[in-house]
Structure 1
């Protein structure tokens, strides 16, 4: 029995097949979707344990699929690996570091794929759980609140990284002054 149900959302049959072939046999049940609409439907129906999402998709882009996932508290906790051959397009929509999902650049090898999946699983565990006492909001307001919440979390991660860098710089300066 497969330990993980992985959904690969990519318009390229080659990529979907490549992911299926690179995963350890017996550990993964691989589901496939060829566009964003099919992908979001399969996410809701199948409840995969891991999602691999191409950024550039027909019918509904990877960005739109990501936004729908983020708009539902029960889907936010699913580990996500975003795939693209052009990281700069992804970086336009998402600021680095990618805090709650992992990015893998196409083409990737088996080690890169496995490392990305492991990192996505680790990042998903660090994500704060949605507060069940706060009622979900509808419409554009909910998307704006979610976007701001994500921005705040990213800013906090950036501040933490800057504090760490500052401490390293101070330690270096103190060492050189001895």
Structure 2
């Protein structure tokens, strides 16, 4: 039986599988969620020992999941590793230094992942001020709708980018094979 539950919230199956493969065998039960809504539901139902959270997610962004985690004292205690291919998108919303969670930039190696997990566990034990929940300002409904529309466009563009990357990798493999 696995001793630790790790929840990987990422819309990329590749990343979810990569994390699973990089973890030491037998020690972890890896739970998966492909979007923010699924991730929040899994956090509430499963109470994982560690959360690995992608910052750009469909349905509910990683930022929104992060805010929900930080707004509840019992969830704040769960070690958290934020993942993103673009650090600046994270630091735009959450200023460094990251005091209560760890950040890892995608793509990452196994050693980086293990170090990020260790650091997240250490940071989760730090005492927090009473008002540790992230500060947010109320957003007009129109701006919220615009934001949702932009998030949907980003998701669509990310899917197109991922498809192009896959096609490029296939093309490169084909060319390399023909050059042999």
Tell me which interval the TM-score lies in, with the shorter structure as reference length: 0.7 to 0.9
State how many pairs are aligned.
Answer: 135
Contact map agreement 2:70 2:132 (CA 8 A) in 1: no
Contact map agreement 1:53 1:83 (CA 8 A) in 2: yes
In structure 2, what is the equivalent of residue 7 of structure 1?
7
Stretches of structure 2 lacking an aligned partner (at least 5 in a row): 136-180
Q: Deviations over 1:105-146 (max 9, x none)?
A: 00000000000000000000113386xxxxxxxxxxxxx982
TM-aligned CA deviation for residue 93 of structure 1: 0.6
Deviating above 2 A after TM superposition, structure 1's stretches of 4 or more consecutive aligned residues are 127-130, 144-148
Tell me the TM-score normalized by structure 2.
0.72
Stretches of structure 1 lacking an aligned partner (at least 5 in a row): 131-143, 149-178
Contact map agreement 1:77 1:127 (CA 8 A) in 2: no
In structure 1, what is the equivalent of residue 123 of structure 2?
123
- For 1:145 and 1:31, the matched residues in 2 are separated by 27
Which residue, out of 125, 146, 171, partners 2:133?
146
In structure 2, what is the equivalent of residue 88 of structure 1?
88
Contact map agreement 1:100 1:127 (CA 8 A) in 2: no
- 145 and 117 in structure 1: CA distance in 2 versus 1, 3 angstrom threshold: closer
- For 2:132 and 2:106, the matched residues in 1 are separated by 32
In structure 1, what is the equivalent of residue 62 of structure 2?
62
- For 1:21 and 1:93, the matched residues in 2 are separated by 30
1:25 and 2:25 equivalent?
Answer: yes
Tell me the TM-score normalized by structure 1.
0.73
TM-aligned CA deviation for residue 44 of structure 1: 0.2
